Amino acid sequence: MKLLFVVDPLASLKPHKDSSVAMMRSAAARGHDVLACEARDLFVRDGIAQAPCATLEIGAGDDWFRVAHTEVLRLKDVNAVVMRTDPPVDIDYLLATHLLGVAETNGAHVLNRPAALRDFNEKLAILNFPQYLAPTLVSADAAGIGAFLAEQEDVIVKPLTEMGGTGVFRLTATDPNRNAILETLTRHGTRAIMAQRYLPAISEGDKRILLIDGEVVPWALARIPRTGETRGNLAAGGSARVQPLSERDRRIAETVAPWAQAQGIFLAGLDVIGDCLTEINVTSPTGFQEIEAQGGHDVAGDFIAALERNFARTVRP
């Protein structure tokens, strides 16, 4: 197969931890052609979505790629387009999904589906599964959030468009900075944010559970907050611990999996704290390399094998 990865600049990817690098290495090891471009490279000419695509030679170590050659290709002429650009989901990201939507109309196989990337905000998607949620409020009204805080006494507040723990705060009812934090996050009442009851189980980790084409990866990556920190995100200094799914983890994942598959979400990363679902990540879920390093499970191999099965279904007469 010829696989095109739409990624952030290749030189910015960390080969020892980036899941996109793991995908590309696995694809190359299985004999597939690996191509890459950036979202800003996408263009449409006369109704056909195209991009200058770099064909990569993939290796090990820090010097993990070499560009063999670059040529402009129609996206419909590759076997799969894998959208792996990191958030924030800003106007540039959304415009890229529209161009990928044109590619899909042309006949390209894009995953996750561009419409799903637009429709399912990673924070708000959990609202489809209220049975697994902690008390949650989404609002731009600081007074309403303040009332929720008074009721719950201890909450997490976070913006709806960021990743890696950016803009996440823990607030208590007596926090002297709460008004300033809420004014800043809501942009003085003009932008909705999410508030959730604080879950003490975060001390045992913010668990990342991966879904690939409707199948549940049997290992979770628990991201443990460092001392004095609320956020478990690895980008915020959390440590990684790989562990088997609990019965509750699996129940949540098996509930979400068929929904995700039906929405065209080929790869999803569920975030679970204790018994509660807190996010459904659809843009560029990570954790592949940590799970393989500690648990011995080849997640990237699962991902490419699922792509191969998916491709076989689409070409079957």
CA distances from 267 to 60, 182, 185, 303 (A): 24, 33, 29, 8
3-class SS letters over 45-74: ECCEEEEEEEEEEECCCCCCEEEEEEEEEE
| Residue in 143, 144, 87 with CA at minimum distance from that of residue 279 | 87
| Residue in 289, 152, 303, 145 with CA at minimum distance from that of residue 217 | 303
Catalytic residues: 123, 158, 208, 223, 231, 271, 279, 281
* pTM assigned to the model: 0.92
CB 34 within 8 A of CB 58: yes
Q: Mind listing the pLDDT tens digit for each residue in 212-254?
A: 999 999 999 999 987 766 766 666 577 899 999 999 999 999 9
Give the 3-state secondary structure of residue 88: coil
Given a cut of 50, the residues of the chain with pLDDT beneath it are: 316-317
Domains in the chain with CATH codes: 2-114 (3.40.50.20), 135-198 (3.30.1490.20), 201-297 (3.30.470.20)
Q: In b/e form, how buried is each residue of 5-35, taking b as 16+ CB within 10 angstroms?
A: bbbeebeebebebbbbbbbbbbbbeeebbbb
**pLDDT of the residue at 253:** 98
Q: What is the C-alpha separation between 133 and 277, in angstroms, rounded? A: 6
Q: What is the C-alpha separation between 53 and 109, in angstroms, rounded? A: 16
* Lookup: tokens for 284: 């560029």
CB 36 within 8 A of CB 10: yes
**pLDDT of the residue at 317:** 41
Beta bridge partners of 83: 6
Give residue 258's Cα distance to chain centre.
17
**pLDDT of the residue at 166:** 85
